[in-house]
Structure 1
Amino acid sequence: MLNSVNRKVFLLYPNLIGYARAALLLLSVFAFHVGLLRFAVGSYAVSQLLDAVDGEVARRLGQCSEFGAALDMIIDRVSTIALYFAIAAKSARAGLLIFLLLLGDVGGHWLFMYTELKLGESHHKNSAHLPPGLKHPTSEAMHQKLMIGGNP
């Protein structure tokens, strides 16, 4: 049962940003479905930019949580899946490629996260087991997201 301390995690600022990301993603999917492509791309892009913001806010405010990390990863995966489905909707020939990309994306993230948790890491971006070039330091998180525009 959730007590008042556990319930507070749902209202932490980074998690509120995560809910906004999810809402924008749903809005993007709906807009794509009804043919509002520019609006779909815009809301998807804002959702992706907020992906950099939520982690930065969590670290700066000391509001990192397991729930927030899971929420972030789930929204990342769902947003990638939504993008793949949008591509598949426009190109029927891309089906097998989309399936393989999804399998690699979701399976790879799950395997990496599970391995890191078993090794005692608190977050996949801070892993001591990553080569230096793949670490995700807080000071560069926003810059990386803005420069490459993808999911870390």
Structure 2
Amino acid sequence: MVSVFLFVPNLIGYSRIFLALAAFYFMPSSPKLATGLYLLSSFLDSFDGHAARLLNQCSRFGMMLDMLTDRCATMCLLVNLSLLYPRYVFLFQLSMSLDISSHWLHLHRSVILPQIHPGDTGLVPSLNIHFFQLLLYCSFPICAIKTAISVIHLITAARNMAAMDQAEGEQGLASRKQD
């Protein structure tokens, strides 16, 4: 049997980590190369889950590797964007906080109740805008959707956790009344 560390989806995950690290290394000196590497890393994210199901190689390790790679890549990107656009640091900080808190709470809720499913700055000549502005405009809808999903995860997981606490409290109260 193949070690879980060598499952195809996990190999894809390792390549995503390598590409993301290379992207962050090149961000200060070669933003176009960094953008390409980061986008390739993000693109591969759409394949690891499909490969896991297709090859029957789903694993807890792979699930955690994928989630941690996503979170770390997002955090590193937002830190770099904060350096490039210090005026928007507060918004990037809010995005980081929302991303971490919603995924953390959602993960813990899903562990407790797995059956609930509620997921070079040159101008671009023809457009007369900077490359990163174009990237920002193109990625904004995706970021907005991702933020909305994070808010939904946060609210759903918080409600589920609160309902569990309330149910446990009511069970404790009922058992005390029986005594």
TM-score normalised to the size of structure 1? Answer: 0.75
**Counterpart residue number, 2:58:** 64
Equivalent of 2:24 in 24, 29, 36: 29
CA distance in 2, matches of 1:78, 1:89: 17
Which of these two proteins has the greater Rg computed from alpha carbons? 2
Root-mean-square deviation (CA, aligned residues, Å) is 2.2
TM-score normalised to the size of structure 2? Answer: 0.64
Gaps of 5+ in 1: 122-127, 135-147
**Counterpart residue number, 2:6:** 11
**Counterpart residue number, 2:99:** 105
CA distance in 1, matches of 2:114, 2:77: 32
Q: How does 1:39-50 map to 2 (within 5 A)?
A: 39-50=33-44
CA deviation profile, 1:99-143 (whole Å, cap 9, x unmatched)? 11111101110101110110024xxxxxx431xxx6xxxxxxxxx
Structure number with the bigger relative contact order (C-alpha 8 A, sep ≥ 6) is 1
CA distance in 1, matches of 2:117, 2:72: 26
Identity of aligned residues (%): 36
CA deviation profile, 1:60-100 (whole Å, cap 9, x unmatched)? 11100000000000000011112211210111122222111
Gaps of 5+ in 2: 120-141, 150-179
CA deviation profile, 1:26-57 (whole Å, cap 9, x unmatched)? 00000103x11110000000000100011110
Q: Aligned AA for 1:32?
A: M
CA distance in 1, matches of 2:51, 2:66: 13
**Pair 1:95 & 2:83 matched:** no
Figure out how many residues of one structure are paired with residues of the other and give that number: 125
Q: Aligned AA for 2:117?
A: H
